[in-house]
């Protein structure tokens, strides 16, 4: 067989298919762009029968010049050098997300008003092609950006046919819960445009614990205990509960503030806390109840901070694949943090080994 380079449109479709894998991932990437833009208020609107996602923010917005290159692959304001790649300060530093959405959306509209400007500008793409860039007919009332994705995955009918409106909406809600926990200084909301109902709201707060209390109740938040570990080029900040929950939905892990899903990190914390903390709660002589016995899944919020060059990360529809260059070092750090936590709360008297 003859070896030939792929056409540009095929390359683009392959790349975009890898980059954005679901409605929820589409929403997450646009919200992360809002956070990169310094937004303190992010409103998401979903209309899943029309495969529509809209994100409205109050970030610093884009000028006409900036908007003119927005949506072009590898166009980004967040990365200029290889050093920037090794020490990214933003989520969307590769300039991939919006370009991928352009390729996968029947229509994508970006309306923005830059800080210090009274003018709003609008850019429209249809099926991967830019149609126009013009002044908006209706001026935005405030600085910021609105991104509207319509007919998402129009060119991937098999993948789109697997979308379940109920399941995907719930997954979007769970992702926003995770983003709200890692950004307590930002308010988030989620509206179902079919019913007009606000399905999720998280107000700005002073801390992770305060946001956790807003979302999951004061009693659950009160059970969380703080634990930290700081090593050279590696830091962990964790909130670990002395109680359990009926499902694993209150297990959150982050890598450089990026929300992770169903990783080896989740499994490690789940197994250790279940073995020691939840087992301790049901030891003979301690009061038990049917509720306590049902709450068999640990609760935790774990933030890991390290150099980006020490790991690779890949996002799939319902899980995240994370590979560290040296898992032994990472595991030892988790082991050290958990041993310190368990000894401090007199749950163990001797260190365990993972």
Delimit the domains of the chain by residue range: 8-202, 212-344
pLDDT of 3 higher than 50: no
Predicted pLDDT of residue 94? 60
Predicted pLDDT of residue 103? 92
Q: Which of 7-11, 117-121, 156-160 has the lowest mean pLDDT?
A: 7-11
By residue count, the chain amounts to 354
Average pLDDT over residues 103-120: 94
- The answer to whether residues 321 and 311 touch, using CB atoms and an 8 Å cutoff, is no
d(CA 21, CA 315): 8
Portion of the chain with pLDDT greater than 90, in percent: 70
Predicted pLDDT of residue 293? 58
Average pLDDT over residues 104-117: 95
Average pLDDT over residues 252-267: 95
Average pLDDT over residues 321-330: 93
- Residue matched to tokens 């929950």: 245
d(CA 44, CA 209): 23
- Per DSSP, the three-state class of 94 is coil
Sign of CA dihedral 33, 38, 39, 40: positive
pLDDT band at 137 (very low <50, low <70, confident <90, very high): confident
Query: Over the stretch 261-302, which tens digit does the pLDDT of each residue have?
Result: 999 999 999 999 999 998 766 544 545 555 555 779 999 999
- Residue matched to tokens 């150099």: 307
pLDDT band at 132 (very low <50, low <70, confident <90, very high): confident
d(CA 168, CA 198): 16
Q: Which fold has domain 212-344?
A: Ribosomal Protein S5; domain 2 (3.30.230)
Portion of the chain with pLDDT greater than 70, in percent: 85
110 closest CA partner among 153, 154, 67, 73: 67
d(CA 67, CA 297): 46
pLDDT of 155 higher than 70: yes
Average pLDDT over residues 162-186: 95
- The answer to whether residues 144 and 111 touch, using CB atoms and an 8 Å cutoff, is no
Average pLDDT over residues 120-131: 94
Average pLDDT over residues 58-78: 84
Predicted pLDDT of residue 2? 43
Average pLDDT over residues 38-50: 97
94 closest CA partner among 265, 260, 327, 313: 313
Sign of CA dihedral 244, 224, 239, 272: negative
Kindly report the CATH number that applies to the domain delimited by 8-202: 3.30.565.10
Q: Is 136 exposed, middle or buried (0-12, 13-18, 19+ CB in 10 A)?
A: middle
Edge-first strand order for the sheet with 224-231 is 224-231, 234-245, 297-306, 251-255, 258-260
- Residue matched to tokens 């205990």: 225
Q: Which of 193-207, 278-292, 332-346 has the lowest mean pLDDT?
A: 278-292
DSSP state of 7: P
Domain 8-202 and domain 212-344, same fold? Reply is no
Average pLDDT over residues 340-352: 94
pTM for the model stands at 0.88
């Amino acid at each position: 067989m003859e070896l030939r380079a792929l056409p540009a449109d095929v390359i683009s479709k392959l790349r975009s298919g890898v980059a954005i894998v679901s409605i929820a991932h589409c929403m997450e990437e646009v919200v992360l762009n809002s956070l990169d833009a310094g937004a303190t208020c992010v409103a998401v609107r979903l209309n899943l029968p029309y495969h529509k996602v809209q994100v409205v923010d109050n970030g610093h917005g884009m000028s006409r010049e900036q908007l003119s290159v927005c949506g072009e692959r590898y166009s980004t304001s967040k990365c200029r050098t290889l050093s920037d790649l090794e020490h990214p300060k933003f989520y969307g530093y590769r300039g991939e997300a919006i370009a991928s959405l352009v390729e996968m959306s029947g229509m994508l509209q970006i309306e923005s008003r830059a800080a210090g400007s009274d003018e709003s500008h609008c850019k429209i793409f249809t099926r991967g092609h830019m149609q126009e860039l013009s002044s908006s007919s209706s001026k935005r009332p405030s600085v910021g950006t609105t991104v509207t994705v319509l007919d998402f995955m129009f060119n991937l009918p098999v993948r789109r046919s697997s979308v379940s409106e109920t399941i995907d909406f719930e997954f979007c809600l769970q992702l926003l819960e995770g983003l709200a926990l890692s950004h307590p200084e930002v308010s988030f909301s989620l509206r179902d445009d079919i019913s007009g109902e606000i399905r999720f709201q998280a107000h700005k707060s002073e801390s992770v614990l305060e946001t956790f209390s807003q979302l999951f109740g004061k009693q659950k938040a009160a059970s969380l205990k703080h634990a930290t570990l700081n090593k050279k080029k590696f830091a962990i900040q964790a909130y670990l509960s002395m109680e359990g929950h009926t499902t694993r939905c209150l297990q959150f892990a982050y890598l450089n503030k990026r929300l992770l899903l169903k990783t080896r990190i989740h499994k490690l914390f789940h197994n250790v806390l279940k073995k020691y903390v939840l087992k301790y709660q049901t030891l003979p002589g301690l009061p038990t109840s049917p509720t306590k016995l049902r709450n068999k899944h640990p609760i935790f919020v774990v933030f890991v901070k390290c150099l980006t060059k020490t790991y690779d990360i890949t996002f799939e529809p319902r899980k995240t694949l994370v590979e560290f260059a040296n898992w032994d070092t990472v595991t030892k750090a988790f082991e050290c943090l958990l041993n310190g936590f368990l000894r401090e709360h007199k749950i163990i008297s001797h260190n365990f080994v993972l």
